[in-house]
Structure 1
Amino acid sequence: MNIDTRIKFRHLVCFLEVARQGSLARAADKLAISQPALSKTLKELETLLAAVLFERSKKGATLTEAGAAFLRYAGPSVQALREGVNSLRAGIHEPVAISVGVLSTVESLLVPEVVCRLHARHPALVISVVTGPSAHLLSQLRVGELDLVVGRMTDSPLIHGLAFEHLYSESMTLVVCNDHPVLANPQAHRNLEDYPWVLPLAGTTIRKFADALFVQHGITPSRQRLETLSVALSRRYVQCSQAIWVAPFDAVRQDLKQGALVELELGAREPGGSVGLCTNPALPVTPQAQWCMEALREVGQEYLEGKYP
């Protein structure tokens, strides 16, 4: 069956943005067009496809079964076209690039080593790293804007329909600056709520592990909090304040080794969550994505065996 030539690039872009945002209003804002214009474009696409792509309600726009099926092909098609245009504009006719979503749990230790190995083996490889909450990164993976996502994400509802491969488990820990008052007074462990806290953003997968740590040790964090997924911001704030950071162990491993931060001993550490890589089974695996997955497995295995870091 021939493709209807009346289907335009703008139809696909609008469809993908509504799928990503789950709302016509938010999608229209992202695309800098009016909501009526967006609705008209979607209606045109649905008419051309003879299918209803979204269920509209006061809560937003949800993909229908037909919309989910179309998404599996529309996302990769638009991304491939964008890459083709960009490669010609750059004068590169055989681009070798990969886009990887990276959660904060792995951006300090795992990913830098993987990038080093990839560049040593493939000097012309361009690696684009996108950071952010798991929900945002998984939505980009679903529409084909990312080749894979790395980190803790198994508790995210958006992971359903995607493929997850476990690499290793990583625990959460409490860390403070090396001259924190609580270190000189063992009794101060009972009054941890007297200090500011640094926590992952509410609603994120890693925040659930932080909350589990509080329950496990009977800790009530204070109302004075910094909530962020930025490892760099958290590290600097903790080093220049009396804040307590609920941190992924890998994110602070080197700081603890160098004495820049100190781990609070609570008798037991949170058992750990699954760190792994997530891919979209509806998308073809490019050679460069396969290279990256192989490097991730390699470093993950060395982590398990205690060979890295």
Structure 2
Amino acid sequence: MLNARIKLRHLQAFLEVARQRSFARAADRLAITQPGMSKTIRELEEILEASLFERTARGVALTQAGLTLLRHAGPALRALEEGIGAVGGSGQGARWLNVGALSTVESRLLPEAVRRFQADGPPGVGINVVSGPSAFLLSRLRRGELDLVVGRMTEAREIRDLAFEHLYYERLLLVVRAGHPLAGVDPLPAEALVAHPWILPPPQTTLRQQVDSFCVRHALALPETLLETLSLPLGQGVTLGSDAIWVVPEEAVRAALDEERLVELGVSLERLGGSVGLCTNASLEPSLALDAFCEILREVAADTSGAVI
């Protein structure tokens, strides 16, 4: 039975501090004072007889007790909000499927899945797509703010108790513009790469982990001229107009490679590639819309040329 002393404001404050990793930012988002926010969290900790947050150099972090509460409080509050919305709207209006998308699936898999879902999926269901690094998206999935995360994320520590379903493997490539000094050099010595600027995923992403492993294997130091981004349009634009080397998922550049506007370099960043798949939160209430979209994603993955299922 829910402790009668725990109020909705306690849980809302807890989730916002967990989301912002800062009492000050959470207080600002909820339009209350910082002392008021601290008091609310302290009340909740006293009721639960457990410490929920600990202070770090970067703000606040969840304790083990806080992580346990987060797993349950996020989905519960979301279900409550949806129920209130359904009653208030008399069951009318669009329902939403909230999907987190990593850059590995933004070019082919996800666009085709959305197109098929809109054509053949449940009526009256809209799709809201949020992009970003895996840590950000998986934390939102754990809080119940997303229904699903799609992409390459098996290396992500944040998966933990979330459920991952493999769809296919995809390699990270090293690509350059056609006519680049290194284009067509095969085999290409790895040390030749550092003479040119690099475009690569930001630190603390699963894709960057593969880049770092490649550099360790080949005893390379990253060049001084770097562009760190997950933006596919930005990466492609800079690569096509410069001598930069772009570290990018194969799906994102398949069309440009086929058109010979971009060229894969003659050195392999990784052998097999990473596992691209679906990540869900088993503590969330399942829905027909989510089941339908996941099935469409499986079909599109199976239809993708060269996919290994």
TM range (shorter): 0.7 to 0.9
CA separation of 1:264/1:187 partners in 2, compared to 1, >3 Å: closer, same or farther? Answer: closer
CA separation of 1:168/1:182 partners in 2, compared to 1, >3 Å: closer, same or farther? Answer: same
| Whole-angstrom CA distance in 1 between matches of 2:248 and 2:196 | 16
Deviates further, 31-40 or 243-252: 31-40
**Preserved contact between residue 99 and residue 129 of structure 1 (Cα < 8 Å):** yes
Where does residue 50 of structure 2 map in the other structure? 52
Paired letter, 1:223: E
| Residues 1:132 and 2:132 are matched in the alignment | yes
Where does residue 236 of structure 1 map in the other structure? 237
Where does residue 228 of structure 2 map in the other structure? 227
Deviates further, 83-92 or 208-217: 83-92
Paired letter, 2:272: P
Paired letter, 1:173: L
Deviates further, 269-278 or 198-207: 269-278
| Whole-angstrom CA distance in 1 between matches of 2:277 and 2:62 | 28
CA separation of 1:103/1:58 partners in 2, compared to 1, >3 Å: closer, same or farther? Answer: closer
Deviation, 1:43, is: 2.2
Identity percentage of aligned residues: 46
SS of the equivalent of 1:183 reads coil
Deviation, 1:150, is: 0.8
Q: How many residues align?
A: 304
**Preserved contact between residue 173 and residue 268 of structure 2 (Cα < 8 Å):** no
Where does residue 168 of structure 1 map in the other structure? 168
Kindly report which structure 2 residues correspond to 1:103-182, keeping only aligned pairs within 5 A, or say none: 103-122=102-121, 123-182=123-182
Deviation, 1:106, is: 1.0
The two structures have a TM-score, normalised by structure 1, of 0.86
| Whole-angstrom CA distance in 2 between matches of 1:30 and 1:221 | 39
**Preserved contact between residue 174 and residue 245 of structure 2 (Cα < 8 Å):** yes
Where does residue 264 of structure 1 map in the other structure? 265
Paired letter, 2:98: S
**Preserved contact between residue 197 and residue 246 of structure 1 (Cα < 8 Å):** yes
Deviation, 1:214, is: 3.3
Structure 2: gaps spanning 5 or more residues: none
**Preserved contact between residue 72 and residue 283 of structure 1 (Cα < 8 Å):** no
Kindly report which structure 2 residues correspond to 1:1-309, keeping only aligned pairs within 5 A, or say none: 1=1, 4=4, 7-28=6-27, 30-31=29-30, 33-47=32-46, 49-58=47-56, 60-65=60-65, 67-83=66-82, 93=92, 95-122=94-121, 123-183=123-183, 190-217=191-218, 219-266=220-267, 270-303=271-304, 306=306
Paired letter, 2:150: V
**Preserved contact between residue 138 and residue 159 of structure 1 (Cα < 8 Å):** yes
| Whole-angstrom CA distance in 1 between matches of 2:289 and 2:61 | 34
Provide the aligned C-alpha RMSD in A.
2.9
| Whole-angstrom CA distance in 1 between matches of 2:196 and 2:93 | 54
**Preserved contact between residue 172 and residue 270 of structure 1 (Cα < 8 Å):** no
The two structures have a TM-score, normalised by structure 2, of 0.86
SS of the equivalent of 2:211 reads helix
| Whole-angstrom CA distance in 1 between matches of 2:210 and 2:269 | 14
Deviation, 1:87, is: 6.4
SS of the equivalent of 2:214 reads helix
